[in-house]
Every structure is written in structure tokens, then in C-alpha cells.
Structure 1
């Protein structure tokens, strides 16, 4: 597609963004999972992020063919785009005078965005994380015994849920980032604990389904409790519960973390794509 045939519309209204991207969510629910769930969250709670913005790439026939989102302090998220469309957005944002701390999403369009951004601004870029995109094509299983059991988190456990969500965010990201608020997830039964001896020992949560796809996130076991299979039991149970409800499961995994990669593979997850997060700076 020639760059001249692609135009961009932007909005700070989550309801408008949701309407723009409905067809893309239905067609590409895995690629659109982050934008879909975050946008839904902002429709319900507009104050969740300050100054959010979405960009839709529009082709010559007026169709939305590319989707991008920024929810500060997080980097720009590239969901659905070709390499050419990623580079075109970089050109558009530089021309508009936007400043960005980074960009993340599907590898090839993100790298095209990065290259165009660096060339146009004279800045620099550094890859800070490489992620595998995994889905679950069959019922999950744990190939070994794990002591304890799965249950949903209760609303009187929000303090622990919030603390562990922030612990996960602190461990995963180089720079401080706020964990998502999970009140609505707990109320909807989408936060799970693995419990042993009456005490939670591991936690994970899932997004509300969009396009039939739910995303497993925030898998956290406190360091002193690791190595006992709790995360394996939890992710398998939580994923199985969502599959039984008719949802398709996906997740992101840090490719530099062999432990989590082995856990997910043993449960039955398979790698279907690659994401990357890039830090941008003007130097």
C-alpha cells in the first residue's frame, strides 16, 4: 500500500476508539487483545489513565486497517499494522511533534516504526524486552502433581491482589509502571489464586474476552514460594476455567525467562508470534 493511500485519525475518547476498532477486534482478536481490553477498561473508568490516545490507520476506501494506542506512562502500542503502516505512523507523529518514551507490539511493524523514528528524529533506540505471543489450542494440563488448589480471589482480598499486581509490574519492567487496578476483575471472577494451607501462594488474572479471546496476565508467585509448581497449577486452572466458558486463551511471555516459557509450553500453550518493546530517546 503506498503511504499516500493511508491516513490517520486520532481520538482521546475510548468509546469512539472502541467503535473504530470493532471490526479489527473481530478479525484479529489476538493481535487486538491489549487495545480491546484497555479500551473497554477506559470506557468503564475514564480516569484509569491520563491522556490516553488511539490512532486508526484508514485506507483509501475508508476502512480501518491499522490500530495503535498510547496510555501514558506506557509506550505506544502497535496492535495491527504492516511494516509500511508502522513507518507511516512514525512519520505522522514526528510531523505532529509527538514525543514518545518507547514503542511496543508486534515485532516487524514496531521495528519499522523504530527505524523511521530514529531516522527522522536523529534519536536512538534500544530493545528492552522480547516477548513470545502464545495461545492455547487445547485443554490445559499440568504434567505433575501440585499441592493445593485453585480458587477465585474475593473482594475482601483486594489489598493482596493490588500488592501482588504491583510486585509483578515492578519485576517485569525496567522503569516503574503502575499496575492495573483489578477491582473489576475480582468482581467479575477473573482473578485467580492458587491456595495451599488456606493461604494464597500464587496469583494471575485474565482480561474480559474480546472477539472471544481472553489474555492471561500478571502471573506472580512470591520469590520465597517459587519452585513448587504453584504457577503451573494456577495458569492451567485459570485457563481451563476460561476455556470451559467458551473463551480462547492467550498470553505474553518474556523470551528471556526460560522458567515461565517452560511452564506455559508444558501446560499446552504454543508460540504464535513475537512482540518487542523498544525504548526511544532523543540524543
Structure 2
């Protein structure tokens, strides 16, 4: 099986979150796709097969299938643009549809996606209490402007906005306990962010439920954050999200709020091929 390896959301052509991309005539059996994802070892591998309407797409982490993955979709957009030329491609997910635009130009590869609809709700008190304990945090560590919430743009995340960049850099947690918590609440990741300004965030995303300690760039969470800020009445414009710094894997994501409340958010970034 031909697996392309690309890093999405690069920062000055460095870093980026690696994703496997498999373009095939027909999607393999799910057991086979899961095995390939585990062998590739990246946080996600995306499988795409052409249909009359566009592409049928499924995403697999090393230990589980997930409903939607932003950075793998950006990598897929770049791979499709390389093969078919620049353009917009419709993707059919297990639930719903998204669009990705891929570009292959003299300045390199890039892509932009429009996420599934964005949703949010307050974080239940028991979930919040358990999550804060998991990371050794208290209510005093949280930014009161951005209350804890479950945010969604194709995948569910618990959002914890922290008022201190140093505390974000010091993030540690027990991976087994984190995986159990995320699976209990059907969370793709827990998204910890710090607002340098309300238009520029630093983020970290534990992904224990998928068998990955931390995701260096999380496009689905970026889309969900943009939708949540809009719901809070915070107009961030072109939202910049810097992620992966504390892992030594710099990533930069750009996100724009939905054109209508609750609609899909636009997330874009640059892509590089992983050599070797």
C-alpha cells in the first residue's frame, strides 16, 4: 500500500504534524486500515477513494478510527493537488461532508478545509474536576474570558483555556488515565490553550485516546475553537494558533470563524513532504 508521508501546518517550512495519506481505488477493509495506521505510527493516517461526487474518506489513529482529523485533511488536500492540480475536493466522512482546497505552487504545498458544523456546550462539572486533577491544575489556572467547554467541529474536544503560558509549557499527565477519561467522554483530545492575544493562541492537545501522548497540530480543535470564540462574542479575525513549540515541532494554524453561527470553520496551513 502506497503511503505518502506529509507534515501539515508547517512553520516556515519546518515542523508540522506528520500524517499518512493513502490514495486508493477502493477503501480497504477497516482492519487493514487500522493495521496500516498502527504501522505508520503517526497520530493519524487518512485513506481516500474516489467516488462520483468526490472522495470517500476515513481516518485512523494508531489505536482507533476517529471521525475527523484536520491535519490529515490538510495533508490529503496537498496530496490531491499534487496528483490532480489545484482545486477544491469534496470529502465524504463517516458522518457528514467537508471540503478541502489544495494548492501546489512555486511556494510549495498548502491546503484549506471547511470543517463540519461547529458546536459547543459547557463542560460538565465532573468532567472538569477530573480533567483539572489529571493535569495538576485548579480553577485559578483558567482564563475567565474563555470558560471550559466541550467544543466540536467534527470531533469532540474538552477546551481548557489557561491564563499562564508557563503552565501550558509545563503540561504533564498520566497517559493511561487520560485515555480512560477521553474515552469515557468520547473526546478526541483535550485542548489546552493560552491566549497571547485574543487573535493569537498557543495550544497543546493530548491525544491519549488515539494512543498518542500529544498531537503537535490539531486542525479539528482549531476549527472548534474558532466556532467557540464566535459563540462567546469574541471576534478574532484571522486566528493564529501556534502549536507544537513545547514538543520541538513548531506548527502554525490559521482559522476563521464560520460565516454563519454554527457553520463550518475554515482552517488552513502549509504542507511539506517528509523525506526518507
Alignment TM-score > 0.5, same fold? no
Structure having the larger proportion of residues in strand: 2
Structure having the larger proportion of residues in helix: 1
TM-score, length basis structure 2: 0.32
